[in-house]
Amino acid sequence: MPRIESEVFYKNAIKKHGITPAGVCWLSYAHQQIRFEILYELLPDLLCEENIVDAGCGFGDFYIYLQNSGNLPKKYIGIDSVDAMCSIAKEKTAQEILQADITNTQLPVSDFIVCSGAMNVLTAFETTLFIQNCYKASKKAFIFNILCGEDKSETYNYLSKDKIEQFAKELNVKKLLLREDYLNDDITVGFYK
């Protein structure tokens, strides 16, 4: 079971905040953009040669970030479990957006799979399944950000650096990159093959 009912949680956020970063439970637009910037830095310079799956794509805001950066991937697919998010992401991006639970769905194989914040409301078990599934479906890397620290929240999911390193070891990650120099209690991780 998730910590919270994701569908209800996000639909309430959309109702309260609309199609904004707060509507996908980001603290602010600035924080969302900082996280996107760090994800972007861990991707190759020429995305036009790469396929990207955006796991937990929300409103498709990372695609819009890439578009505004002038560096779109060869192919982009967004995946989200919340139907309202998928509808909005399709409209905003005009890209392929799939509705699926990433913890138990065979994902499209892609060069890179990225995830920005989608694991923040999962249980520890669901986070394990999510990471395993995304890493397995990536040809080159799974790059994600998540809250970092001791997991004491009733709502949000935090991973410690020790747990991230344990995941990397269990998955036989060839290269592990960690970035935690940008926001308090947040970490961006690159699991490279």
Q: What is the pLDDT along the chain (193 residues), one digit of tens a residue?
A: 444 566 555 555 556 555 655 545 555 678 889 999 999 999 999 999 999 999 999 989 999 999 999 999 999 999 998 888 899 999 999 999 999 999 999 999 999 999 998 888 788 899 999 999 999 999 999 999 998 877 665 656 778 999 999 999 999 999 999 999 998 889 999 999 9
Residue 44 CA, chain-centre distance (Å), reads: 17
Name 80's bridge partners.
99
DSSP SS3 for 192: strand
CATH superfamily label, 6-192:
Vaccinia Virus protein VP39 (3.40.50.150)
Tabulate helix, strand, coil % of the chain (nearest 5): 40, 25, 35
Which helix (H) or strand (E) segment holds residue 143: the answer is strand 138-148
Tell me, what DSSP letter sits at residue 111?
Answer: E
Q: Which residues contact 91 (CB under 8 A, 6 or more apart)?
A: none
Is-contact 66 72, C-beta < 8 A? yes
131: Cα separation from own chain's centroid: 10
Domain ranges (residues) in the chain: 6-192
Residues 156, 162, 164, 169, CA torsion sign: negative
What is the model's pTM? 0.86
Region class of 71: left (phi > 0), else alpha (psi between -120 and 50), else beta: beta
